[in-house]
Amino acid sequence: MMGASDRSGVLLVDKPAGPTSHDVVVRARRALGTRRIGHTGTLDPFASGLLALCVGAATRIASLLSALPKRYEAEMTLGTSTTTDDPTGETVATTDDWKRLEVGRITESLLGQIGPLDQRPPAFSAKKVQGERMYRLARAGRAPPVEPVRVVVHALEITAIRLPVVHFLIVCSAGTYVRAIARDAGDRLGVPAHLSALRRTRIGDLDVADAVALEEISDPVAVQPAWRAPLDVLHHLPHFDVDGRGADDLRNGRATRCQRCDPPCDVGIAAHEARLVAIVRCDDGWLRPRKVFA
């Protein structure tokens, strides 16, 4: 079966609303017959869409995928705020003042967040504060004030306004909370708001259209088209082909000569015969291994 424990790669999964990202990992471990699986960015239980699961040795490239921009289809509901800034929380405030809002103001409340942004993470989030997850502190009534985090909204497009609901597409940096985008849009408008639906459609150039449905994850035939070799998900990094001797050097922790190391880079990939050999640093005409792969 495809899930042999020595298989290394990335599996694209379409998570439905409901299960946690960890629930998906647990099911994948059973289906693929290995415990060595991790994901590349949490999706909240109410959200659906793309999870990229790193399997086997590919868990070592998870951080390189987690850092990629994400694309979402989102839905904001005006007039109600919640403790979690999403539909799973308790209602904090309600109003029908949204009925008096002009479309132009609603549009600006979202489009005005495009670009670099100092964003306050939601109280109920997985961000760690003093070594504990914020959602645990919030549930215990001990959530401390949190400093804003610099994130980037690369693009945002409003696709429909059917008040009190606003639909939009957003492309944002890793670490961006889309529910905070909705919360802050409400603050700009002077009305409570929360993110009522969310679907992740892309991670970098990985697309949910190529993902396997969670209920089919035990079917090798359904899984195969959603499987990616480690080298195939790292196109965003500088690529260096090495010969057999160079591959041996890198796999044994030694630097190897590079024919084209201009400009230098801190993170690149070295490949031999279309297989990932190492994550490398390139400088002064040398490829220096950072992580090596058998």
Q: Please answer whether residues 269 and 233 qualify as being in contact, where contact means their C-beta atoms are separated by less than 8 angstroms.
A: no
Report CA-CA distances (Å) from 69 to 65, 120, 289.
Answer: 9, 19, 25
149-180 in b/e form (b: 16+ CB < 10 A) is: eebbbeebebeebeebebbbebbbbbbbbbbb
44 is catalytic: yes
Tell me how crowded residue 94 is: count the other CB atoms within 10 A of its CB: 11
Strand bridging mode 9-15 / 212-213: parallel
C-alpha span between 29 and 6 (Å, rounded): 13
Q: Cβ contacts of residue 206 below 8 Å, gap of 6+?
A: 10, 12, 50, 52, 65, 228, 233
Q: Please answer whether residues 37 and 59 qualify as being in contact, where contact means their C-beta atoms are separated by less than 8 angstroms.
A: yes
Which one of the listed residues 14, 44, 86, 184 is annotated catalytic?
44
C-alpha span between 97 and 2 (Å, rounded): 55
C-alpha span between 99 and 160 (Å, rounded): 16
C-alpha span between 275 and 277 (Å, rounded): 6
- Nearest CA among 294, 272, 265 for reference residue 56: 294
Catalytic residue annotation: 44
